[in-house]
Amino acid sequence: MLIVANWKAYVEDFAKAKELLVLSKKASTRSAHTIVLAPPAPFLAALALKEASAVAFAAQDVSLTPGGAQTGEVTAAAVKAAGAAYAFIGHSERRAAGDTPEIIVEKLTRAFAQDLTPILCVGERERDTDGRYLSFIREELTSALAPFSPKERMKIVIAYEPIWAIGKTAENAIGEDDLAEMILYIRKVLSELLPGKSSLKTPVLYGGSVEPENVATLAHATHIDGFLIGHASVDTVTFGKILKELSA
């Protein structure tokens, strides 16, 4: 599985960042899973370039700009040089901050140009009984991927993160049956956008209140390829339990 830890802005101390890195490296050597860490931008190079690591790294975002006189921006080329192999595009928190579908396409373009693997985040705000949320997910996927070539579309990772499930307890988050159905639906949409059976090979992750109490059930009862873990990934005890559950 692909286990992606989104540290967001929770980690502000470099000693804590190194502690989480050590935990992740140990877990990686004990399992066949790929662990990807997404630290805040100032810590990325210090962690990723310090030594050859058993884990991979992701940028939490990339700038629209290709470089130049843009104070404060972090370009795709810069995060690639800092050691990132992946980049989040379209995370719900970036969409809430103003990332439109057009901006997401431009950021995907920047990531592809630097050979970064985009982790495209999609997810509905609410789950209505009429199934309108399915059309919402289809539009997010189609608007992001349609401008690109089939070859580029095949390089992407999809992270399904229903916004309504974020911050809830494991008992109140998405159930395994609902998640399994959504993964099948996402793959159906991808089959319309990708050539042949490529959609079956595209990794689809889940993010939204992933906890030690529900991660094993979600992993074993669905066709998920991994998880995008937020707040739980910055607590060494909780994240350690999640990794242990997934390696059982």
Q: Which one of 73, 161, 211, 213 is the catalytic residue?
A: 161
State yes or no: is 91 an active-site residue. Answer: yes
Copy the structure tokens of residue 131.
Answer: 């199934």
> Is there a contact between 93 and 39 (Cβ–Cβ < 8 Å)?
no
The rounded distance, in Å, linking the Cα atoms of 230 and 6 is 5
Helix/strand/coil percentages in the chain, nearest 5: 45, 15, 40
Q: Which one of 73, 91, 171, 213 is the catalytic residue?
A: 91
Q: Distance of CA 112 to CAs 77, 108, 221, 222, Å? A: 10, 6, 33, 29
Q: What is the enclosing helix (H) or strand (E) of 118?
A: strand 117-122
Burial of 237 (0-12, 13-18, 19+ CB in 10 A): exposed
State yes or no: is 220 an active-site residue. Answer: no
**HSE-CB of 90 using CA atoms within 13 angstroms:** 30
Active-site residue list: 91, 161
